[in-house]
Structure 1
Amino acid sequence: MISSVFGYLGIVLLLGGGLWRIETRAPLKLFTWLPAIVLIYLFAIALSQSGLFAQNAAQTFAYKEVKSWLLPMMLFIMLLRLDLHAFLTLGSPLLLAYGAAVLSIAGAFFGIFALFDFGPEAAGVFGALGGSWTGGTANMLAVAAALGISEAQLGPALVVDSLLYTLWVSALLLAVPFARRFDRWNGANPMETNTSETSEGESNLRSILILTAIALLIASALRYIAALLPLLPESTWSVLLATLAGVAGSFTPMRRLGGSSTLASFLLYLLVALIGSHASLHGFSEVPRYLAAAASILILHAFFMLLIARLFRLSFFTIGVASLANIGGVASAPILAAAYNRLLIGPAVIMAVMGYLIGTLVGLLIASGLQSIAA
């Protein structure tokens, strides 16, 4: 049994950083169906349940302290790539599809939540899932932290999210050969765009160290400010302030520092490993019910997107990449875009990065609305 704080954090760093390194440098075929982020979480739970960690007062304090630093740092860094101007110049078809995707996903959460008759305790879990499906895993963790969702509650949502995300990406890629037939039947206009991918500078050790130092300073300042603000819990203020700081940073020369996406994904994997190290298998019995509800949400979303495509003569690419930019994020939206035309990768990335901004807010709104329904 590991009783020291440094031993505990060392294992977390080795697990999160090790699998992150493997996925980025030597990706395994296993990651196609079981993403590395899920493996990290499951391995961390297994180590926790095996009794490897003492779970003493010192380790619990270290867990809470490190988590409270990593989350605002990650949110700030990942939003540096945001380009609001580029998003607004995507063109009306893509903007319409993106808005329809966000609204259909959020609306489906309310309908399915009421249909399955979930209780108030599930509202926050679905809010976190909504954050992920309109942003990414980072937004899920941000919503969970803002709402005070326990590790036991978050576990099933993370597993369901990853399973259905994998199936959704596969389904959209399998549909690519039929896209031209769909567009002819729908009378869709050809996809044109003048946008390009938001670029970042060259990634090197110097730029990553500068980003880390800036993020640490920002996180320190935000924690101090969040503790002074009224009305909302400190954790909620910390998430909201980090989001605003990241948006503000995207208008400064910091956005051109290389390595922001690399550092943000590394911090995300560490955060997932950290959360898993204090999670338990309690609540995993609810996974089948959550899975059925979440799959129903995706089906409703798909029907709505097809309806929008029919009404406004949108191409399959337009609705597909808008959907995947929400549900899949930066990691998968460019893959679908590249299956059509590599010139379309830029708009896909821009929409996906936009999800980093709205995902947390949408997730919090979904959770608030679901709590009203369940009350």
Structure 2
Amino acid sequence: MPNQVLIENDAVVLGILFLILFGIFKLAESTNRFLVSFFKIFPPILLCYFIPGVLNSVGFFSGQHSGIYPFVSKYLLPVCLLLFTLSLDIDMLKKLGLKSVLVFLAGTLGVILGGPLAAKVVSVIMPEVFTGKEGGELWRGLGTIAGSWIGGGANQTAIKEIVKPSAYVFSQCVAVDVLVAETWLAVLLIGVGYTKRIDNWLGADQSLVADMKAKLHDYKTKNERIPEFMDYLTILSVGFVCMGIAYFFADLIVPYISANHPSWSKFSLTSVFFWVVFITTALGIFLSQTKVRELENVGASKIATLILYILVASIGMQMDLLAISQNLGLFLVGIIWIFIHVIFVLTAAKILKVPYFVMAVGSQANIGGAASASVVAGAFHPTLVSVGVIFSVLGYSVGTYGGYLTALLIRWVLA
């Protein structure tokens, strides 16, 4: 990246990031044929990563020296995780059926086991990928991919702050994450046009999807309402209070572990952010079983989604796109990894005889998160968009834990 940058003032950079986000999503709403076709190939979330990445790479601004990402990751990320997890609706998951949840979890298992297997295969056939200083640290970057592919961008950032890959490694891994994930999204969307054929091959009961449509339509009609000022204040208060609680206890736990169990540092247990994410997610799961979950009816996850895209843009502005070309073998890891995930979800769908809709949304809720899972669900029927959100929230709930476990497994198989 160039030594000199054009814009150094973070206030200006933040304004540019919001302008980018607004421009992307405003254009994505257009009915213009060219733009509709364009966004089918290049989904908004892909552009949210890569436009700031391009600007960073050409020296328009410096993500590495900016204070935006540290602020967003430290203060807004825990709130984002909390608000997403808050909308975890176990009753609705029950209505969707055990088979649907099992297919989703099969995809999660495919990511957890697929990462170490893919890394091991590539280390054998292309050992140079994992050699040298940067290669030896790749398990950290691959762990962030696992966090993203089990949960979403918020989990990815949480893993990044826990295992701390270098900016160079992280740039490479974000590129693998986004490009491979968006390619799989395109495949799933193409498959929507062949739903009947795929369902016949799976031996699926298509009445399951019809039942989902009816249940979700009734739920939305009965519970959703227009938010007021106190609703927004309550949502943000819950988020930031829980973040404060998480930091309070993390500041007590970390010094104790550092003094009494210093060897636990190899598991990142002496990282303040590890405990912040752990406590925040646990609080979110607990509160989702109380009346606090009703905040979802006035837009808790929408606020979380806005924070998530700010987070995605701030991650993008740390990317050095020139670093991507330095280790193209890493893309082979991603391709093998996603292939293993696909085997897991396809096998589960075949055994359980669930429709392609469940398989596609369950898979994308893992690999792409709430935004793209909703896109896949909506491609079947607008009423089903919330299914993508529900599964994605489940992913956000386990994404950090699963991603962290995957990172440790990758480090173990490469040792």
- Normalised by the size of structure 2, how large is the TM-score? 0.78
2:249 to 213, 221, 225: 225
CA contact (8 A) 2:204 2:354 kept: yes
For residues 60-75 of structure 1, the aligned pairs below 5 Å read 64-75=70-81
1:121 to 125, 129, 137: 137
Give the superposition deviation at 1:294.
Answer: 0.9
CA contact (8 A) 2:14 2:68 kept: no
1:95 corresponding residue in structure 2:
101
Give the superposition deviation at 1:362.
Answer: 0.8
1:188 corresponding residue in structure 2:
204
The structure-2 alpha-carbon separation of the partners of 1:145 and 1:343, relative to structure 1 and needing over 3 Å to count, comes to: same
Amino acid paired to 2:117:
G
Alpha-carbon distance in 2 for matches of 1:307, 1:53: 46
SS of residue matched to 1:189: coil
1:83 corresponding residue in structure 2:
89
For residues 307-326 of structure 1, the aligned pairs below 5 Å read 307-326=347-366
The structure-2 alpha-carbon separation of the partners of 1:309 and 1:217, relative to structure 1 and needing over 3 Å to count, comes to: closer
SS of residue matched to 2:403: helix
For residues 1-375 of structure 1, the aligned pairs below 5 Å read 7-8=9-10, 10-27=11-28, 29=35, 30-49=38-57, 64-117=70-123, 118=130, 119-192=135-208, 193=211, 195-196=215-216, 201-203=225-227, 206-230=230-254, 231=257, 232=269, 233-257=271-295, 258-281=298-321, 283-286=323-326, 288-375=328-415
The structure-2 alpha-carbon separation of the partners of 1:271 and 1:85, relative to structure 1 and needing over 3 Å to count, comes to: same
Deviations 1:29-84 (A, max 9, x none): 3444334444344443444455555899xx66675355311221221122221112
SS of residue matched to 1:175: helix
SS of residue matched to 2:387: helix
SS of residue matched to 1:251: coil
SS of residue matched to 1:229: helix
SS of residue matched to 1:116: helix
CA contact (8 A) 1:120 1:370 kept: no
Moved more, 351-360 or 316-325: 316-325
Deviations 1:160-197 (A, max 9, x none): 22222222122112122322123334432234245426
Give the superposition deviation at 1:340.
Answer: 3.6
Identity %: 28
Alpha-carbon distance in 1 for matches of 2:391, 2:314: 29
Q: Which residues of structure 2 form unaligned runs of 5+?
A: 124-129, 258-268
Give the superposition deviation at 1:229.
Answer: 0.7
Alpha-carbon distance in 1 for matches of 2:66, 2:386: 43
Alpha-carbon distance in 2 for matches of 1:95, 1:43: 35
Alpha-carbon distance in 2 for matches of 1:286, 1:235: 30
SS of residue matched to 2:137: helix
Amino acid paired to 1:324:
Q
Deviations 1:88-111 (A, max 9, x none): 342132122112211122222121
Alpha-carbon distance in 1 for matches of 2:67, 2:377: 44
The structure-2 alpha-carbon separation of the partners of 1:18 and 1:78, relative to structure 1 and needing over 3 Å to count, comes to: farther
Moved more, 283-292 or 120-129: 283-292
Amino acid paired to 1:98:
F
SS of residue matched to 1:169: helix
Number of matched residues? 371
Deviations 1:247-284 (A, max 9, x none): 23323444333232232122223233334445545742
Amino acid paired to 1:227:
D
Give the superposition deviation at 1:143.
Answer: 1.2
Alpha-carbon distance in 2 for matches of 1:340, 1:63: 36
Alpha-carbon distance in 1 for matches of 2:157, 2:319: 14
The structure-2 alpha-carbon separation of the partners of 1:253 and 1:201, relative to structure 1 and needing over 3 Å to count, comes to: farther
Moved more, 104-113 or 22-31: 22-31
Amino acid paired to 1:13:
L
Deviations 1:300-327 (A, max 9, x none): 2223333333333333223222212211
SS of residue matched to 1:370: helix
Alpha-carbon distance in 1 for matches of 2:48, 2:61: 16
CA contact (8 A) 1:113 1:293 kept: yes
Amino acid paired to 2:173:
A
Q: RMSD over aligned Cα, in angstroms?
A: 3.1
- Normalised by the size of structure 1, how large is the TM-score? 0.86
Give the superposition deviation at 1:369.
Answer: 0.8
Alpha-carbon distance in 1 for matches of 2:372, 2:155: 16
2:266 corresponding residue in structure 1:
none
Q: Which residues of structure 1 form unaligned runs of 5+?
A: none
Give the superposition deviation at 1:140.
Answer: 1.0
Amino acid paired to 1:44:
P
SS of residue matched to 2:194: helix
Alpha-carbon distance in 1 for matches of 2:413, 2:58: 39
